[in-house]
Amino acid sequence: MDCLTNLGISMVFAKTRVEDTSKIFVSTGLGFFVEMELQHAFDFLGKKEAFLTEKFDAEVDRSSRIKTQIHEMLLLFDMLREST
């Protein structure tokens, strides 16, 4: 199988040929890669996607709460400014 491989230098890729496609290297995080069989990699990536989606949703909720608090504070500052 022919593919492009990231050389780890920004967006620099090289054409490569993979002879044995029964296994794949999967990024597990923090710069670590693990060689896995395709089904195991597929299962792992499904779990990783669910984990990252959960973390993303939590950060979206957190940022929404902060945005609401900022908006409320700006309204209070306007009210204080108008009362003086």
Contact 17, 5 (CB under 8 A): no
Q: What are the start-end ranges of the H helices in the chain?
A: 38-83
Taking Cα atoms as reference points, which of 34, 7, 4, 2 lies closest to residue 17? 2
pLDDT of residue 64: 97
State residue 31's pLDDT score. 86
Q: pLDDT tens string for the chain (84 positions)? A: 898 888 887 889 999 998 888 998 899 989 899 999 999 999 999 999 999 999 999 999 999 999 999 999 999 999 999 987
- pTM, two decimals, is 0.66
